[in-house]
Structure 1
């Protein structure tokens, strides 16, 4: 079975930033970060307003006041959204910020699962996709 040889230029161009704009992979990660951040902000605003949408069944180790969870999700959501816009703009700091904020969002959404599981799992999926994509991107390659 013959192995496919990838031309050096294609390897070099796979994840490069050109003229300040990210390639397809990082751009997609930026979109995922912006969407996930927006969803976290909506979740945070709903929690701060103490909407009757959230119900906790049984005991839970990470039980905070719903307003506290709202503020946590709001702050993390804003940070994830800013990192996503930075990734889309091709900012040099954005890859690290995107990885860190997506990881923080992933952890907070995991702890929020008992309150609203489908929403949390959806945002966790976006966070994981962004982490995977940004982890594969090497900003040094040009």
Structure 2
């Protein structure tokens, strides 16, 4: 069990280092939205809803919570408009 925990911490650390490098290298890595990513996200959230629906008799409260969260994720991925641009650290305009 200790080896598993050590490996998982190592993987988490490596992923955090990669995320930091990606953030330093290009600011738009986490802000750019592509259509294929939204479609993939909706598909995965749909599979999560299906799997939690099938486990509803065994874990009713957890399944309902996860179905609601996945439904919110699908809604959020489907309602983002193209003209909504996120500009981090935008300075206010002086008047």
Task: Give the TM-score taking structure 1 as reference length.
Answer: 0.35
Higher RCO (CA < 8 A, seq sep 6+): 1
Give the aligned length.
57
Aligned match for 1:128, one of 52, 68, 71: 71
3-state SS of the aligned residue for 2:45?
helix
Q: Determine the C-alpha separation between the residues in 1 that align with 2:28 and 2:60.
A: 41
After superposition, the C-alpha distances for 1:76-117 in whole angstroms (9 at most, x for unaligned) are: xxxxxxxxxxxxxx4623211111110111122112100111
Is 1:104 the equivalent of 2:82? no
Give the ranges of 4+ consecutive aligned residues of structure 1 lying more than 4 Å apart after TM superposition.
none
Q: Determine the C-alpha separation between the residues in 1 that align with 2:63 and 2:74.
A: 16
For 2:93, the equivalent position in structure 1 comes to none
For 2:30, the equivalent position in structure 1 comes to 21
Gap runs ≥5 in structure 2: 1-26, 86-95
When the two chains are superposed, the root-mean-square deviation of aligned CA atoms in Å is: 2.1
Task: Give the TM-score taking structure 2 as reference length.
Answer: 0.51
